[in-house]
Chains A and B, each alone.
Chain A
Amino acid sequence: MSSLVNILLQGVLLGALYALFAMGQSLVFGVMRLTNTAHGDFIVLLVFVLFVLTNLAHMPLWAAVPVLIGIAFCAGYAVQYTVLNRVSSRDPLPSLVVTFGLSIVIQNVLQEVFSADPRSLATGGFESMSITLPGGIALGLLPLLTLAVAVVATLFLQWLFGRTPLGRVFRATSDDREIVQLMGISPRRTFALAMGIAFVLIALAATLYAVRTAVSPSDGPALLLYAFEAVIIGGMGSFWGTFLGGIALGVAQQIGFYIDPGWGIWLGHVLFLALLTIRPQGLLPKTA
């Protein structure tokens, strides 16, 4: 029995990371209907930027992370404004191909510069610290931190979209990008801002990911699929939905790993497809 509880808890903690991967994508798809095939690769890219900051520039982690966030925001804004804005239209093909191209470029540039070897971030032991619950279940501090960050991120996005003027701008631009100009809003700048925020979320996810596992340049596509599945399972248009979707995915994968290591990821994919067949609108679909 305690092993079932353990699986569920580990699944939730794994899922929190997936939820964090997915938040950025949920935001971007919500505001500008953009399918970013390079989403996972941007996570990996920021991981390697972090490596450069900590290893080459010898920055301590507590200083490197804010710098990373600053770099991420600017990079996201720039990428959207210069490249992706040209292809963010109703036809999905251009944005798919362009981001697909970006994905390949990023993976190969990273491989050229850093070699294909996986590497991870050392934090002097934090990644292996844990607290032990009664019953002998150990919960890692890093996964708990990840869960906390994921919850805070979800709350933040929910607040941003629902209660702030910027959130109004995002929702209106997503509704009608032509008419929103009549209010004095530039859709192009709005999209760039959304992408900038999404990149900040990606930076947070990248940091936690790099501390947790060894990352290699080709990890991107797998992360994209997890993020995407979390968004669909949870229901499009809802940040809490994305959060729950990530958790559900993490739990499914953990159960799969327990049955047999080869079937872990498979079970996650199958859960996704099953949910898509039975309840395509997701767990918490937007009612509007």
Chain B
Amino acid sequence: MNVNERHFEIRRATRASRVAVFVLLIVAVLVASFPYWAGRDTLRDFTQIAAYLVFAMMWNLLAGYGGMVSIGQQAYFGIGGYAMLILANYGGLSPFAAVPVAGVIAVLIAVPVSLVAFRLAGGYFAIGTWVIAEVFRLTLANVSWLGGGSGASLTALQDIPRSLRESLTLWLALAIVVAAIGLLYVFLRSKRGLALTAMRDNAVAANSQGVDVKRARFVVYLVSSGGAALAGGLYFVSNLRISPDAAFSVNWTAFAIFIVMIGGLGTLEGPIIGTLIFFLLNKFLSDFGTWYLIGLGTLAIVVTMFFPQGLWGYVSRRFGLQLFPVGRRVVFLDPGAVVRPARAESADPRHAAH
């Protein structure tokens, strides 16, 4: 089959993806209207989902696109929470405005941290970032004016009527989620995004093609950290109370890993699907305490061993579904030609022959 002899064009969107984008827009509008009719629990649920989702997306960006697996991103989740608290309680800033500022602060902190963290690679990078997160946790646990080990309350929101506070929190959550998804989508479709995918698949080859691997990794680390801080700031605006153990708990990364394992690494829709499933599991099964966690752990083991693409990844490859089309496909325009989506986007980093 000689490609030159057939008419074809390059397309991005699939029918499934067009439907998905449409559905998401509707959902966004629906969520924005929540404060007018939905119950308190629903508002709170959405904010929680948003925090998990954004954190998982940022972990996915770092691991699935940057090729850097970290067990320490909770450091920035906690920094986001504490920075927001400090700015709100002591800086006179509105907590809702403090969240984005906290994101910027996290990025500034991430710069020197990356210099240390990047000394390690692979599995040891992962554990090293965990140590760094522990340093933040222990430091804050020893700072008494922030409540030390027992934590502090977000007093800046005391005077706002509860329903207004909850509405603003929800809209903030929605804004952050939309911004995160939107920015990532645009970024990954761009030239830089393609460079990232190349880098993940084979750093040496990418380097030889002019991709500045070191710089790209650095940028991804910063973006991921900033995003994690937004998630953290958001979470504690909703929670009203922060403590070092809650803010810097490794469980955040554990949940992100589970979400990404369910949803599939390195896709844009993976974390969304993964978060929804995870949240449902959480809501209905977490009463079972330790058994729920045993189940999650076992699921992670089984999925990694037998479905390395994640459960959604398995489904999407099997049926050719791709909701966020950041890859390109060749579509033959002959009548009766079979259209097969390209594998670029959900490509398994381990696929590249070594």
- On A, residues with C-beta under 8 Å from B are 29, 33-35, 37, 83, 86-87, 89-98, 100-105, 107-109, 111-112, 221, 224-225, 228-229, 232, 260, 262-263, 265-266, 269-270, 272-273, 276-277, 280
Chain A binding surface, main DSSP class: helix
Residues of B within 8 A of A (CB): 63, 69, 71, 115-116, 119-120, 122-124, 126-128, 130-132, 134-135, 138-139, 141-142, 250, 254, 257, 261, 265, 290-291, 293-294, 296-301, 304-305, 308, 349-350, 354
Identify 21 residue pairs between A and B in the complex whose beta-carbon atoms are under 8 Å apart, listed by A's number: A33-B123, A37-B126, A93-B349, A94-B305, A96-B123, A97-B257, A97-B300, A101-B296, A101-B299, A101-B300, A104-B300, A105-B297, A105-B298, A108-B293, A224-B127, A225-B130, A228-B131, A260-B142, A273-B131, A273-B132, A277-B116
Query: Given A87-B305, A100-B257, A266-B138, are A37 and B71 also a contact pair (CB < 8 Å)?
Result: yes
Contact present for A93 and B138 (CB under 8 Å): no
Nearest CB to that of A231 among chain B residues? B124
B304 to chain A, nearest CB (A): 5
Which of B71, B123, B124, B293 is most buried by chain A, counting CB atoms within 10 A of its CB? B123
In the complex formed, the residue of A with least CB distance to B119 is A280
Q: Are A225 and B131 in contact (CB under 8 A)?
A: yes
Which residue from chain A places its CB closest to the CB of B299 in the assembled complex? Answer: A101
A266 touches B142 (CB 8 A): yes
Of all chain B residues, which has the CB nearest A281?
B119
Cβ-defined contact, A103 with B300, below 8 A = no
For residue A35, which residues in chain B have a CB less than 8 angstroms away from its CB?
Answer: 122-124, 126-127
A residues near B261, Cβ cutoff 8 Å: 97
Q: What residues of B have a CB within 8 angstroms of the CB of A92 in the complex?
A: 69, 122-123, 126
A276 pairs with B120, CB closer than 8 A: yes
Q: Contact: B131 with A269, CB < 8 Å?
A: yes
Question: What's the minimum C-beta distance from A38 to chain B, rounded to whole angstroms?
Answer: 10
* Chain A to chain B: the 3 pairs with minimum beta-carbon distance, closest first: A35-B123, A104-B297, A101-B300
Partner of B254, one of A104, A260, A276: A104
* Measured CA separation A108–B130 after assembly (Å): 21
How far, in Å, is B347 (CB) from chain A's closest CB?
Answer: 13
With A91-B349, A269-B134 known as contacts, the answer to whether A108 contacts B124 (CB < 8 A) is no
B110 to nearest A CB, angstroms?
15
Report how far A91 CA is from B305 CA in the complex, Å: 13
- CA A132 to CA B91, docked complex, whole Å: 56
Contact residues in B for A98 (Cβ distance below 8 Å): 300-301, 304-305
Interface centre among A93, A266, A277 (most CB of B within 10 A): A93
CA–CA, A224 to B131, complex, Å? 10
Distance of B65 from chain A, by nearest CB (Å):
13
Is A112's CB under 8 angstroms from B254's CB? no
A284 to B195, CA, bound (A): 37
Q: State whether A228 and B350 are in contact (beta carbons under 8 Å apart), knowing that A98-B300, A108-B290, A273-B135 are contacts in the complex.
A: no
B23 nearest CB across to chain A (Å): 30
- CB distance B142 to A263 under 8 Å? yes
The interface residues of chain A lying within 8 Å CB-to-CB of B305 are 83, 86-87, 94, 98
Residues of B within 8 A of A93 (CB): 63, 69, 265, 349
Nearest chain A CB to B92's CB is how many angstroms away? 30
In the assembly, what is the distance between CA of A263 and CA of B148, in Å? 13
Residue of A nearest to B112 (CB): A277
Bound Cα distance A184, B84 (Å): 60
Q: Contacts A100-B257, A104-B297, A108-B294; is A225 near B304 (CB within 8 Å)?
A: no
Q: Give chain A residues whose Cβ lies under 8 Å from the Cβ of B350.
A: 89, 91
Q: A112-B294, A228-B128, A266-B138 are in contact. List 9 more A-B contacts (CB 8 A).
A: A92-B123, A92-B126, A101-B298, A101-B304, A225-B134, A232-B124, A263-B142, A276-B120, A277-B119
User: Nearest chain A CB to B278's CB is how many angstroms away?
Assistant: 14
Query: In the complex the two chains form, is B294's CB within 8 Å of A105's CB?
Result: yes
**How many Å lie between the Cα of A112 and that of B298 in the bound state?**
15
- Counting chain A CB atoms within 10 Å of each CB, the highest count among B120, B128, B257, B290 belongs to B290
Give the Cβ gap from B243 to chain A, nearest Cβ, in Å. 15
- How far in angstroms is the closest Cβ of chain B from A170? 19
